[in-house]
Amino acid sequence: MQYFDTHAHIGLIYDDPIEQLIVTQEARQASVSRIVSICNSLHDFVKVYENLKSANHVYHAVGVSPSEVQNPGKNWVQTIEQSVRLPRIVAIGEIGLDYFRKFGDKKSQIELFITQLELAAKLNLPVIIHNREAGQDVLEILRDRLPPKGGVLHCYSEDAAFAEKALDLNLYFSFAGNLTYRNARNLHETVQVLPLDRILIESESPFMVPAEYRGKRNMPKYLPSTARFLADMLEMDDEELASILWENSNRFFGLPNA
C-alpha cells in the first residue's frame, strides 16, 4: 500500500532544513510515498522549496492564504507566475476565505481569492481551497470562477448538505486527522454521501493529529491512521481504499500513478 498526503505544512513542523527532510523520509518509510507541501506565504514557500529540493517525492503548491491578505508580498502575482515554472509545482494554494480569524476584511479576502482563482485558470493548475466559516461565499465564488482543473476543499469542515451542493462542481473533498474524532459527526456523515472518486486525505500536519496519536505533533507519517479509520467507516478493505485514494490524488494533481 502507498498513501498520498495531499496537504502538509512541513515548514511549520520544523524550521531546520535537515529536520524537514527527515520528516519526509519518515513519511516514506510509513508508506506515505508522495506529499504536497503547503505554505501560507510566498516568503515561506521560497524557504521550504529550497530546503526540500532534493526530496523528489515532495510536491509543492504556491499561493497566498487568507492569513496573509494584508501583506501578500511585493509583486506577489508575478512571484507566483515565476514559481510555477519550478519542478514539482502541482497547484495554486492554499487560497480561500477565513472568516473565523477575521484576517483583514471580507472584501480584501474575496479579492485575493478571486485573483488567485483567475491566476490558476491562466496557469492551468488546480486550486487548494481553505474555507473556515465562509462556506456560502466560497461556494458562490467557485460556481463562477473555479478554474478548469478544479479544486479541493482541504481539511473539509462543512456538513453533508454542503458537500452535496459542492458535488455539482469539479471539486474534491480532502479529510484530515479530525475525521477520526468521535465528535466529528458532520464529517462522518459527509463521507457517506460522497462518491469514492472525489475523496482525498491529508495530514494537515502539524495540526489535526489523528486520535490514535493525540498529544503528539502531527506528521505526514501518521496519515495511514486516517486512511484506516476511513476504510473502517466505509466498510472497505484497507488496501482497496488506499489504492482508490492514491489514484484520486494523482488524478487531481495531474501526476502518474507509478
Which residues are annotated as part of the binding site?
A: 7, 9, 94, 130, 154
Angle at Cα 132 formed by Cα 142 and Cα 178, nearest 5°? 115
CA distance 64 to 114: 12
CA distance 158 to 120: 24
Angle at Cα 93 formed by Cα 87 and Cα 99, nearest 5°? 170
CA distance 173 to 17: 31
Asked whether the CA dihedral 117, 156, 101, 143 is positive or negative, the reply is positive
CA distance 1 to 237: 11
Looking at the DSSP assignment, which residues form a beta bridge with residue 200? 174
- Strand, coil or helix: what is 65? coil
Helix %, strand %, coil % of the chain (to 5): 50, 15, 35
CA distance 35 to 52: 11
CA distance 205 to 209: 7
- Binding site, annotated residues for a divalent metal cation: 7, 9, 94, 130, 154
